[in-house]
């Protein structure tokens, strides 16, 4: 009788362990399937990701990098972008330049907290011959309002090709 009871307990424990393992696997799969691309990024990581999706011309990813509404100041001109109906990047204007891709020269957090940061991004625009034809520094205010970093505002001192607020 004792051996039958032990076998029953062993089978029950194995089923219980299998059930918990299966639950853990489904939870992991569900979480990774719905993880946000910016989850776990630092403010510096967000800028690297931003330049990558910028170069890829990935509009949905770029729209997600920006908070809505957000503010852009380019060459002294203030633009408030209320929603995704306004393009975040003017690729038509950018492609009138020799631009092939952009690269980061330096990204630096000037001030930061748990939910906001001020960053300086020194970047270059590169042509088809891999030559720098433009270099600029832009200041970004980031927010972590939704649990991940997004651009709340940017300020460039001069004209930046591709900035939708240059128009």
Asked if residue 153 and residue 77 are part of one domain, the reply reads yes
Asked if residue 20 and residue 48 are part of one domain, the reply reads no
Asked if residue 132 and residue 157 are part of one domain, the reply reads yes
Asked if residue 162 and residue 115 are part of one domain, the reply reads yes
- Average pLDDT in the 40-46 region? 96
CA distance 137 to 125: 12
Supply the pTM of this predicted model.
0.76
Label residue 162 by pLDDT band (50, 70, 90): low
Asked if residue 79 and residue 150 are part of one domain, the reply reads yes
Asked if residue 108 and residue 128 are part of one domain, the reply reads yes
CATH number of the domain bearing residue 85: 3.10.450.50
* Nearest in space to 100 (alpha carbons), one of 79, 128, 122: 128
Domain of residue 62 covers 43-166
CA distance 159 to 100: 18
Instruction: Inform me whether the pLDDT recorded for 131 exceeds 60.
Output: yes
pLDDT digits (tens, 9 = 90+) for 51-85: 999 999 999 999 999 999 999 999 899 999 999 99
Asked if residue 72 and residue 8 are part of one domain, the reply reads no
| Tally of domains in the chain | 2
Instruction: Inform me whether the pLDDT recorded for 134 exceeds 60.
Output: yes
Number of Cα atoms under 13 Å in the Cβ half of residue 111: 4
Asked if residue 134 and residue 60 are part of one domain, the reply reads yes
Asked if residue 53 and residue 29 are part of one domain, the reply reads no
CA distance 72 to 165: 7
Label residue 98 by pLDDT band (50, 70, 90): very high
* Average predicted confidence (pLDDT) for the chain: 84
Label residue 10 by pLDDT band (50, 70, 90): low
Q: Decide if 136 contacts 154 (C-beta within 8 A).
A: no
Instruction: Inform me whether the pLDDT recorded for 11 exceeds 70.
Output: no
pLDDT digits (tens, 9 = 90+) for 111-126: 999 999 999 999 999 9
Asked if residue 94 and residue 18 are part of one domain, the reply reads no
């Amino acid at each position: 009788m004792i051996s039958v009871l032990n076998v029953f307990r062993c089978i029950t424990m194995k089923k219980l362990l299998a059930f918990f393992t299966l639950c853990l696997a489904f939870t992991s799969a569900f979480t990774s399937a719905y993880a946000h691309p910016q989850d776990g990024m630092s403010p510096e990581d967000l800028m690297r990701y931003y330049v990558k999706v910028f170069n890829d011309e990935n509009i949905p990813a770029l729209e997600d990098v920006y908070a809505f509404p957000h503010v852009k100041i380019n060459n002294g001109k203030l633009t408030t972008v209320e929603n995704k109906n306004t393009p975040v990047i003017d690729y038509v204007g950018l492609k009138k330049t020799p631009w092939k891709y952009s690269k980061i020269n330096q990204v630096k957090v000037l001030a930061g907290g748990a939910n906001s940061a001020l960053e300086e991004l020194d970047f270059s625009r590169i042509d088809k011959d891999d030559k720098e034809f433009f270099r600029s520094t832009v200041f970004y205010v980031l927010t972590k309002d939704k649990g991940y970093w997004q651009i709340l505002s940017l300020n460039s001192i001069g004209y930046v090709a591709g900035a939708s607020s240059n128009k």
